[in-house]
Chain A
Amino acid sequence: MANRQIGDVILDVENISLRFGGVNALTDISFNVREHEIRAIIGPNGAGKSSMLNCINGVYTPQAGSISFRGQTFSHMNSRQVAKMGIARTFQNLALFKGMSVIDNIMTGRNLFIRSNILLQALRLGPAEREEIANREKVEHIIDFLEIQAHRKISVGQLPYGLQKRVDLARALAMEPQVLLLDEPMAGMNVEEKQDMCRFIMDVKDEFGTTIVLIEHDMGVVMDISDRVVVLDYGKKIGDGTPDEVRANDEVIQAYLGTSH
């Protein structure tokens, strides 16, 4: 049912190396991501997957290499710039504002779209009010999309873990991203929750045409929903291709998969 054809390369990571003192987190990593595809990054813990995402996101500055997004090349990314360009992410350990309600958390994702200054907003004057309504409408569409209407006004801290992850995803979607970086979105979920999350991820791709880069440990999920897979091990790339190609790769099997899947 894929009606969004996978397009050209939208994100290109070239020869990225990242060091923390003596530890080589990433060594000469290169791969690309095509538009509208789901690209999985897999590998054992400590392989450098989150570090890779952090480089793309602008959290870490790599010592070498460059990242291209839609033809523009950067030696290092700036977080704010990255967000403005249309790359959003979720976090492995969530980074939600636990005391705020679900709807407020998702509204923070609209931050870059809101222009009025703090005074106008505080007094809810004309333009600020209109902006609030317009952004609220967008957020409501996302709430409807992820089926969390029942929890709109509840403090995020009170929600079960699976729902918090959905709110995290909702906040990322509120940025109307072109590329979505998902850091272990299924961690800590049971089978049913994972199925729901998979469904939402696929719906996001179908509905909004978002390109998705996904770090995930559940091999079933990875093999099922990703179009192409990158395998990292000890900061090095040891596999790159379709799920079937990667599955049969001996080095990948030895390092990570264990037995042939």
Chain B
Amino acid sequence: MSSQPQVNLDLTRDPTFPRLLLSHARLRPTHPAYREKFLGIWQTESWADAAKTVRELAGGLASKGFGRGMTLGIIGDNRPRLYQAMLAAHALGGIAVPLYQDAVATEMTYVLQDAEIGFAFAEDQEQVDKLLEIADQTPALRHIFYLDPRGMRSYDDARLCFIDELLETGRSFNQAKPDYFDAQVAMGHSSDVSVILYTSGTTGKPKGVCQTHASMIGAGRGACEIDALSPADSVMAYLPMAWVGDFLFSMAQCLASGFTVNCPESRETVSTDMKEIGPTYYFAPPRVYEGLLTSVTIRMEDAGRIKRKMFDYFMGVARQCGSNLLDGKPVSLGQRLLYALGNICVYGPLRNTLGMSNIRVAYTAGEAIGPDLFRFYRSIGVNLKQLYGQTETCAYVCIHRDGEVKYDSVGKPSPGVEIRIGDNSEVLVRGVSMMDRYYKNEEATNEAFDAEGYFHTGDAGVIDRDGDLRIIDRAKDVSTLANGKVFAPKYIENKLKFFSFVKEAVVFGSGRETISAFVNIDLEAVGNWAERRNIAYSGYVDLTGNPAVAELIRGCIEKMNEELSQESMLGHAQISKFLVLHKELDPDDDELTRTRKVRRGFVESKYAPLVSAIYGGLSEQFIETQVRFEDGREGKVSATLKIHEVPTFVVGKA
């Protein structure tokens, strides 16, 4: 095989990705590193194979002029060869720049220009076509290597090169200069930038976040430490390579621990591939978990009576003791036996259908994740936990530890990271996973970090008495009540929406003495509830005006108030008055955005009479509002809404 590396593989002080790769190739050469499905069969590449491919790719790149400090573009679905191309770039002292494979040609132009990309790997004809389309705007791009030759026969652009040819060129180069690769790897330092990840810019142009080998490997190692990740673990790489999370899991953690990265055949086959692979370590955004739960619920409703009864019974058992078992908390023998029986009948087969039979730990991150979701997965034995971080922090700030999973927190600070709550409740972070800088944007970089080296996340949060971080809202949406206490409307609205009877909620209180809420009821849930109690109603408006419904909602808010009172940080943010709106908030009426986010300011001004009635102490108020029907006609809807009071609770002892 290749010559013995003269590379210093001291990985404690100065780790880089290529050195980690070579160390795995030495320590566990036959262990599977990457898997990919080809012609319907899983093909496995060992660490030794992977290292060999990286050597050849690096040789090829070097022969074409790729050198230290240069950027390498990566565009495509998750493929082992693309990860290996990134490693090849690292070996030569270069920087990987993955792009979103779904990006349109014009979106790619900015990144290609900003990062001055001269060499790129494209997965297939589709990506190559996009690159060629914008070629005149990206004259620096002189080399495009493609992985899939399908459809490429008739292309004769001089920039294009099939990856097999590149590997061949690499082999020849390595034969002619056998020490080049190792010498280059030896010149790399962990302080070198390893990857530039562009964050989707909501304001202005995307910013290129530069992460070094040190920060990424630090984040990777920390996560491996928390979950004891080992070479025996196995993950599915199916999330975009341009997203920091995938780089963290499939690159940093993979090379930190030596586990196997499995790439699905195509986007449509992800779920079947997952069942075949049975990963031990998994990440998915909340909506994936929600979608799976929904599909399970729907399938169960179609099942026969006996199966449904069995499912309901054992899910009840799971709810009682499932997560406790997972957390290692005490559970009675009787319950243990019942749970074991449930495992055979329900939870085991359920996990199997979801592809989660082997999962030791599953993560999610993002927006408000309903406690029901957590409860469901943990109760059936899937160790679902949350993590929190940004692109600028390698997605590594806080993480749930085993046995300490609280549904409404994002966990405790990860190893090597410290957090602080700054002005305006903003979460500030400092530690191993901080970015080096924004690429070519000194101003933004200086704005992001303060004098003590803390990164400003832009999120508002509180640290509760257990030391867990709770994310409340985006910092700019947080304001204060009249008494100066913190007011985060979205936090309260999300808590209210966890009740199935509440479809939407708008909370007011900025600069005021008390907090109030508009509530939209969920027609299906409340309608069902009403029918079961023989409450007649003639439509949405009628249902909203029903006093029993008001009582129902009052009960929900009261429960929420009680929960809030136990939280020392936000205990004061309880709702004292509410009303049930007579019409659903709708994007067509500009009350919600198209992604169903509440436009609070607009709603406040449109329903101003109601707001003044609430804070004016009135008990009811007539309101007439314009609506736009689905066919475009305009009309008016009016009602007299009752304003209800809700008992609040004394903020509990910490």
Majority secondary structure of chain A interface residues (helix, strand, loop or mixed) = helix
Contact with B along A134-175 (1 / 0, CB 8 A): 001100110111010110100000000000000000000000
* B272 with A150: CB separation less than 8 A: yes
Give the chain A neighbours of B13 by CB distance below 8 A.
none
Partner of B39, one of A1, A3, A140, A206: A140
How long is the Cα–Cα vector from A152 to B268 in the complex, in angstroms? 12
Within A113-148, the residues touching B (CB, 8 Å) are: 136-137, 140-141, 143-145, 147
Is the CB–CB distance between A140 and B154 below 8 Å? Answer: no
Q: Are A206 and B269 closer than 8 Å at their CB atoms?
A: no
Q: Can you spell out 21 A-B residue pairs with CB atoms less than 8 angstroms apart? A: A1-B154, A3-B153, A3-B154, A136-B40, A140-B39, A140-B40, A141-B39, A144-B39, A145-B150, A147-B266, A149-B37, A149-B40, A149-B265, A149-B266, A149-B268, A150-B265, A150-B269, A206-B151, A206-B153, A206-B154, A207-B151
Shortest CB distance B77–A (Å) = 13
Whole-angstrom distance between the Cβ of B56 and the nearest chain A Cβ: 24
Near A by CB (< 8 A), chain B positions 267-302 give 268-269, 272
Please encode chain B, from 136 to 174, with 1 for each CB lying within 8 Å of some chain A CB and 0 for all others: 000000000000001101100000000000000000000
CA distance A203 to B266 in the complex (A): 20
Q: Which residues of B contact A1 (CB under 8 A)?
A: 154
- Bound state CA distance, A137 and B39, in angstroms? 7
Shortest beta-carbon distance from B287 to chain A in Å: 20
Q: Mark A1-35, 1 if CB is under 8 A from B, else 0.
A: 10100000000000000000000000000000000
A144 to B151, CA, bound (A): 13
What are the 4 A-B residue pairs with the smallest beta carbon separation, nearest first?
A150-B268, A140-B39, A1-B154, A150-B269
* CB-CB nearest in chain A for B271: A150
Residues of chain B whose beta carbon lies under 8 Å from any beta carbon of chain A: 37, 39-40, 150-151, 153-154, 265-266, 268-269, 272
For the complex formed, measure the closest distance between the CB of A164 and the CB atoms of chain B, giving whole angstroms: 16
A150 touches which of B150, B154, B266 (Cβ 8 Å)? B266
User: Quick one: which of A150, A152, A203 contacts B151, CB cutoff 8 A?
Assistant: A203
Which among A1, A136, A150, A206 has the greatest number of chain B C-beta atoms within 10 A? A150
Assembly CA distance A145 to B37 (angstroms): 15
Convert A187-216 into 0s and 1s, putting 1 for each residue whose CB lies closer than 8 angstroms to a CB of B. 000000000000000010011000000000
B153 proximity list for chain A (CB < 8 A): 3, 206-207
For A140, the closest partner residue in chain B by CB is B39
* Given A203-B151, A207-B153, 9 additional A-B pairs, CB 8 A: A1-B154, A136-B40, A141-B39, A143-B40, A144-B39, A149-B37, A149-B40, A149-B266, A150-B269
A182 to B269, CA, bound (A): 29
Residues of A at the B interface (CB closer than 8 Å) are 1, 3, 136-137, 140-141, 143-145, 147, 149-150, 152, 203, 206-207
State A203–B150 Cα separation when bound (angstroms). 9
Cβ contacts under 8 Å, A206 to chain B: 151, 153-154
- A150 to B266 CA separation, bound complex (whole angstroms): 8
- The CA-CA distance from A203 to B269 in the complex, in Å, is 23
CA distance A11 to B268 in the complex (A): 40
Are B150 and A152 interface neighbours, CB within 8 A?
A: no
Please, which residues of chain A bring their CB within 8 A of the CB of B269?
Answer: 149-150
Residues of A within 8 A of B150 (CB): 145, 207
- Residue among B40, B151, B153, B265 with most chain A CB within 10 A: B40
Q: Return the chain B residue nearest A4 by Cβ.
A: B154
Chain A residues near B265 (CB-CB < 8 A)? 149-150
CB distance from B38 to the nearest CB of A (A): 9
Smallest beta-carbon distance B277→chain A, Å:
15
Residue of B nearest to A1 (CB): B154
Query: Which residue of chain B is the closest to A143 with respect to CB atoms?
Result: B40
Q: Which residues of chain B come closer than 8 Å to A136, judged between CB atoms?
A: 40
A141→B151 CA distance, assembly (Å):
14
Q: What's the nearest-Cβ distance from chain B to residue A151, in Å? A: 8
Q: How far is the CA of A194 from the CA of B102 in the complex (A)?
A: 22
A36 to chain B minimum Cβ distance, whole angstroms, is 14
Which residues from A are CB-within-8-Å of B39? 137, 140-141, 144
Which of A1, A144, A152 is packed against the most chain B CB atoms within 10 Å?
Answer: A144
Residues of B within 8 A of A145 (CB): 150
Give A147's nearest chain B residue, CB to CB.
Answer: B266
What separation, in Å, do the CA atoms of A206 and B39 have in the docked complex? 21
Q: How far, in whole Å, are A150 and B39 apart by their CA atoms in the complex?
A: 12
Residue of A nearest to B40 (CB): A140
Residue of A nearest to B151 (CB): A203
Q: With the chains together, A147 CA to B272 CA distance in Å?
A: 15
The smallest C-beta distance from A193 to any residue of chain B, in angstroms, reads: 15
Q: Compute how far the CA of A149 lies from the CA of B39 in the bound complex, rounded to whole angstroms.
A: 9
| B37 closest partner in A (C-beta) | A149
Least CB distance from B154 to A in Å reads 5
- Nearest chain A residue, comparing its CB with the CB of B148: A144
How far, in whole Å, are A143 and B37 apart by their CA atoms in the complex? 13
Cα A145 to Cα B266 in complex, Å, equals 13
Return the chain B residue nearest A202 by Cβ.
B151
- What's the Cα separation between A11 and B151 when bound, in Å? 27
CB of B418, distance to nearest CB on chain A (Å): 46
A3 to B152, CA, bound (A): 12
Q: How far is the CB of A55 from chain B (nearest CB, A)?
A: 34
Neighbouring A residues of B40 by C-beta, 8 Å: 136, 140, 143, 149, 152
Give the Cβ gap from A246 to chain B, nearest Cβ, in Å. Answer: 27
Q: A137 CA to B266 CA in the complex, in Å?
A: 18
In the bound assembly, the distance between CA atoms of A45 and B507 in angstroms comes to: 64
Docked complex Cα distance between A140 and B40 (Å): 7
CB-CB under 8 A from B272, the residues of chain A are 150
Give chain B residues whose Cβ lies under 8 Å from the Cβ of A149. Answer: 37, 40, 265-266, 268-269
Distance of A140 Cα from B38 Cα, bound (Å): 9
Q: Which residue of B lies closest to A103 (CB)?
A: B40
Say how far A199's CB is from chain B's closest CB, in angstroms.
9
The chain B residue sitting closest to A144, CB to CB, is: B39
On chain B, the residues within 8 Å of A147 by CB distance are: 266
Q: How far is the CB of A110 from chain B (nearest CB, A)?
A: 15
A136-B39 Cα distance, complex, nearest whole Å: 9
Q: Which chain A residues border B266 with CB–CB below 8 Å?
A: 147, 149-150
In angstroms, Cα B265 to Cα A190, docked, is 26
Residues of B within 8 A of A150 (CB): 265-266, 268-269, 272
Q: Kindly report which residue of chain B lies nearest to residue A148, judged by CB atoms.
A: B268
List of A residues within 8 angstroms of B268 by Cβ = 149-150
The docked-state distance in angstroms from the alpha carbon of A141 to that of B40 is: 9
Measured between beta carbons, the chain B residues less than 8 angstroms from A137 are 39
> Residues of A contacting B154 with CB < 8 Å?
1, 3, 206
Residue of A nearest to B269 (CB): A150
Least CB distance from B302 to A in Å reads: 15
Complex-state Cα separation, A207 to B268, whole angstroms: 24
What is the minimal beta-carbon distance from A88 to any residue of chain B, in angstroms? 21
A174 to B: closest C-beta gap in Å = 14
Report which residue of B39, B154, B269, B272 has the largest number of chain A beta carbons within 10 angstroms of its beta carbon: B39
Per the bound structure, the CA–CA distance linking A203 and B40 in Å amounts to: 21
Q: How far is the CA of A3 from the CA of B153 in the complex (A)?
A: 9
How far is A206 from B153 in the complex, measured between Cα atoms in Å? 9
Q: How far is the CB of B26 from chain A (nearest CB, A)?
A: 35
Instruction: List residues of chain A with CB within 8 A of the CB of B37.
Output: 149
Give A136 to B265 CA distance when docked, in angstroms: 17
Nearest chain B CB to A43 CB, angstrom units: 33
Say how far B123's CB is from chain A's closest CB, in angstroms.
14
Q: Which residue of A lies closest to B267 (CB)?
A: A150
For A140, the chain B residues whose CB sits under 8 A away are: 39-40
Q: Chain A contacts of B151 at CB under 8 A?
A: 203, 206-207
- CB-CB under 8 A from A141, the residues of chain B are 39
Chain B residues, Cβ within 8 Å of A3: 153-154
Q: Report how far A145 CA is from B150 CA in the complex, Å.
A: 8
Q: How far is the CA of A150 from the CA of B265 in the complex (A)?
A: 8
- How far, in whole Å, are A143 and B153 apart by their CA atoms in the complex? 19
In the bound complex, what is the Cα–Cα distance between A178 and B40 (angstroms)?
26
Per the bound structure, the CA–CA distance linking A195 and B153 in Å amounts to: 21
Nearest Cβ in chain B — how far from A203, in angstroms?
A: 7
Closest partner residue, chain B, to A151 (CB atom): B268
- Cα A3 to Cα B156 in complex, Å, equals 12
